Amino acid sequence: MEIRTLDDLVRFDPEKKQKIAVFDSPHMYYDLYALLPGQLQKPFAFKKADKIIYLLEGTLRVSVAGEQADLQPGQAVRIPAGAVNSLENVSNEPAVALVVVAPHPECAERKKRRKKEAGAG
Amino acid sequence: MEIRTLDDLVRFDPEKKQKIAVFDSPHMYYDLYALLPGQLQKPFAFKKADKIIYLLEGTLRVSVAGEQADLQPGQAVRIPAGAVNSLENVSNEPAVALVVVAPHPECAERKKRRKKEAGAG
């Protein structure tokens, strides 16, 4: 059975935010994000996938479509498909979040490619 | 911004296991399961969706395709599409889990229906 102890997977890197895949699922990303104080994820949007961030440790400043909030452990935020969002650890403690993105962004890419190829053929 | 404090949403019912939607996403179920001692989810499989269970509180006996394990807080298990699975709170404490299912099972249903209608038309 595929069981993971999340604490065992967390790792930090002073160079940049860490994104750690917990499972390899064809249907979603199910990742840990580990950010040291000051680390961030730049503004970004998934066109067709929802992203939900659940904070396990620390404090994370989340920006979604221009709105800003400081997420606390035990809180989750949904970022709808298409919404530009960014993350920043503005605290003095490490931050760890459980991040789900669905559908799997690479699936959408694959589907698009297949459609294109079918159209061209 | 859609922020939820998960603790605020948890509720138990002596009658049966509670399934509490955290967000309304078109792309996935993102739910809390709350089980009192002895409560369970009977064997069941999503044909085309992966299910990932992350345990927040208590102990949960998980069965996946005939294999069994006791999940502890901080652990997650992936149940691949098609695998029959069941859950049971075999401990003396309440159990709370964060459960993600993707793609959204109702979307698959909708797609199938549309395909059928298109085929019939």
**Residue B109 reports pLDDT greater than 70:** no
Best interface-test mutation with A: which of B2, B4, B27 has the largest number of A CBs within 10 A?
A: B27
Asked if A21 reaches chain B (Cβ–Cβ under 8 Å), the answer is no
Q: Cα distance from B38 to chain A (closest Cα, Å)?
A: 22
Q: What is the DSSP string of B53-107?
A: EEEEES-EEEEETTEEEEE-TTEEEEE-TT--EEEE--SSS-EEEEEEEES-HHH
Per-residue pLDDT band for A116 (boundaries 50, 70, 90) equals confident
What lies within 8 Å, CB to CB, of B36 at 6+ separation is B12, B13, B14, B89, B94
The reported pLDDT for the residue numbered B56 is: 97
pLDDT digits (tens, 9 = 90+) for B5-16: 999 999 999 999
Average pLDDT, integer, range A69-81: 97
Per-residue pLDDT band for B79 (boundaries 50, 70, 90) equals very high
Average pLDDT, integer, range A3-29: 96
Minimum Cα–Cα distance from B56: chain A residue: A74
Cross-chain CB nearest to B74 (options A7, A52, A77): A7
Asked if B77 reaches chain A (Cβ–Cβ under 8 Å), the answer is yes
C-beta separation of B77 from B71 below 8 A: yes
Asked if B30 reaches chain A (Cβ–Cβ under 8 Å), the answer is yes
A17 three-class SS:
coil
Give A32-88 as a 3 state SS string. Answer: EEEECCCCEEEEECCCCCEEEEEEEECCEEEEECCEEEEECCCEEEEECCCCCEEEE
C-alpha separations of A111 from A24, A99, A105, B2 in Å: 19, 23, 10, 29
What ipTM was assigned to the predicted interfaces of this complex?
A: 0.88
Best interface-test mutation with B: which of A20, A23, A28, A56 has the largest number of B CBs within 10 A?
A: A28
Whether the ω angle into residue B43 lies within 30 degrees of 0, i.e. cis, is no
The reported pLDDT for the residue numbered A90 is: 93
Task: Pull the structure tokens for residue A80.
Answer: 């709808």
Asked if A52 reaches chain B (Cβ–Cβ under 8 Å), the answer is yes
The reported pLDDT for the residue numbered A104 is: 87
Least confident of A36-50, A95-109, B77-91: A95-109
- Phi/psi for B72 (5° steps) reads -110, 160
What lies within 8 Å, CB to CB, of A49 at 6+ separation is A81, A101, A102, A103, A104, A105, A108, B27
The reported pLDDT for the residue numbered B106 is: 77
The reported pLDDT for the residue numbered A117 is: 78
A114 three-class SS:
helix
Task: Pull the structure tokens for residue A32.
Answer: 């840990």
The reported pLDDT for the residue numbered A11 is: 98
Task: Pull the structure tokens for residue A64.
Answer: 């979604």
C-alpha separations of A52 from A17, A115, B9 in Å: 18, 28, 16
Q: Determine, for residues A7 and B71 on separate chains, whether the beta-carbon distance falls below 8 Å.
A: no
Task: Pull the structure tokens for residue B41.
Answer: 């989810």
The reported pLDDT for the residue numbered A120 is: 61
Between CA A82 and CA A85 the distance in angstroms is 9
* DSSP 8-state class, residue A26: S
Asked if A100 reaches chain B (Cβ–Cβ under 8 Å), the answer is yes
Structure pTM? 0.89
What lies within 8 Å, CB to CB, of B112 at 6+ separation is none
C-beta separation of B95 from B89 below 8 A: yes
